[in-house]
A = this chain, B = another copy of it.
Amino acid sequence: MAGTSEESINTRTAGHREPSRPSTGQQVFLAELAAGLRAGQVADDEETLTVYSVDQGPLLERHLPLAVVWAESVEDVQHIVRSCAAHQVPIVARGAGTGVSGGAHATQGCIVLGLERMNRILDLNPDDETAVVEPGVINADLNTAAAEHGLMYAPDPASYKMSTIGGNVATNAGGLRCAKYGVTRDSVLALDVVMADGSLMHTGHQTFKGVAGYDLTALLVGSEGTLGIVVGVTVRLKYLPREIHTIAAFYQDFRSAAAGVLAVGKARVQPAIMELLDNGTLVQLDELNGGDLQKRGKSLLLIQTDGFGAAAEADVVRQVLADRGATVTTEASEEAEMLVELRRNSRGVEVDDEFRVGEDIAVPRSRLVDFVAELEAMAARFQVRLKVVAHAGDGNLHPTFWMDRVDPATDADALQRLNAALDESIRVGLEMGGTITGEHGVGQYKLRWLGLEQPEPVRELQRRIKELFDPQGILNPGKAI
């Protein structure tokens, strides 16, 4: 499962279930499962089970899987699914485990199906501008292969160096350059899917356009492994831009930076990347990298234009932002590019020594400034600290409420205040016409808010679609819907 890094929570307090010995029925199942696979494809040692029991999402209660099973072929996946179907064993499919909503967390009595070994690029056709890949191919590896032909796979979650295409598909992953190039769904043409009964189905088309029948492909993208196991992905590639210009604009406050995003929009320039970083994020980046960003402003808007019009677009952007009070880099954009890399690779740099809760709210672009103002007010009200990064071109914000590590004994309500701020941010985001998840997926962690966004009939329809695809409910139960 893939996503970006901004959501996190201190999980050390989450419950931990000790593994129990498999029951006789489970032993029969595990024997059947192993009988169809090679040695080394199944593990049930506690260390492995523990590592594979969670993705990078917040954990409410830890379950250890019965086993971790690595598929190496479509046939393996079919065998595994059939074995699980015969014994009603839940299957949690997993790519690199970089998801941040708990979509790949193990559930009671499940197996974790690791797809990272199915990592071949089966075809890359530069004339068709398409590629066919196994689900375990790393996003960055596909991009490296495509770049040789002047092509790119556009969706670029911050986890792109680690996350898999299969995981990106499962979560309909977004990323930095989606404002211009679209999200994962917009790049997926066709899927090979192992259904809940072990049968193999092909959906979609190898062509850029195709409208035969219902769009099962789009239904499967973002379904977080609850409707089928994706074992093959046909993607459309885009042209690797030959020219890229990067602009760093510093502001004295975050709201002005957010207003800059709308000003660029009003100039009708479509940047590839528009990232917004607040003061808290600049401070953190300085701490980690020894820079002086916080001296240059209280907020940073990073914009990248690309393609044949990149220089002209960058000129317009610089002018528009400078006119509205930003301090804009006029030098060569090397430093700005370095900042984009810092932003891109921020995964894993979260400071461990703190309490924090993070989100993935998207709001209509016009509400960006208002929403940021509300977030700042909430942080003050709940006496917690705030840092925000945003894929601002999409109105997609990743606010994190946090505080320095506190002793639960002396500040018992710390986590409570963090969670209250989090809930409030969700409520206000929805009130502004937003969504609880712009790109990370509902997974397990966000189910509690889904009812605030989607009324019961919409949720019931999804449950019935799930039943249609997976009558026994063995595919990643308790996730996504």
| Interface residue? A150 (CB, 8 A) | yes
| Interface residue? A38 (CB, 8 A) | no
Could you tell me which residues of chain A, from 170 to 214, have a CB within 8 Å of some CB in chain B?
A: 171-172, 174, 178-179, 182-183, 185-186, 199, 201-203, 205-214
Stretch at the interface among A8-16, A48-56, A403-411, A456-464: A456-464
Give CA–CA (A174, B208) in the complex, Å.
11
**CB distance B211 to A441 under 8 Å?**
yes
Give CA–CA (A186, B211) in the complex, Å.
13
Stretch at the interface among A58-66, A71-79, A263-271, A275-283: A263-271
**CB distance B437 to A210 under 8 Å?**
yes
Q: Which residue of B lies closest to A204 (CB)?
A: B435
| Interface residue? A6 (CB, 8 A) | no
Task: Note all chain B residues with C-beta closer than 8 A to A298.
Answer: none
How many copies of this chain are found per oligomer?
2
**CB distance B364 to A207 under 8 Å?**
yes
Contact with B along A125-162 (1 / 0, CB 8 A): 11111100000000000000000001100000000000
Task: Note all chain B residues with C-beta closer than 8 A to A393.
Answer: 208
Chain A: residues with CB nearer than 8 A to chain B? 125-130, 150-151, 171-172, 174, 178-179, 182-183, 185-186, 199, 201-203, 205-216, 218-219, 221-223, 227, 238-240, 242, 262, 265-266, 268-270, 307-310, 312-313, 316, 362-366, 391, 393-396, 433-442, 446, 450, 453-455, 457-459, 461-462, 464-465, 468-469, 480-481
Instruction: Identify 21 residue pairs between A and B in the complex whose beta-carbon atoms are under 8 Å apart, listed by A's number.
Output: A125-B364, A186-B186, A207-B364, A207-B394, A207-B433, A208-B394, A208-B396, A209-B395, A210-B435, A211-B222, A211-B440, A212-B442, A212-B453, A213-B458, A214-B480, A215-B219, A242-B268, A269-B308, A307-B307, A308-B313, A308-B316
The 10 residue pairs across chains A and B that have the minimum distance between CB atoms: A308-B309, A309-B309, A218-B218, A127-B366, A207-B362, A210-B435, A239-B268, A308-B312, A128-B364, A209-B438
Q: A201-B458, A205-B434 are in contact. List 13 more A-B contacts (CB 8 A).
A: A174-B209, A207-B395, A207-B396, A207-B434, A210-B437, A211-B441, A212-B435, A212-B436, A214-B223, A216-B458, A239-B269, A308-B309, A308-B310
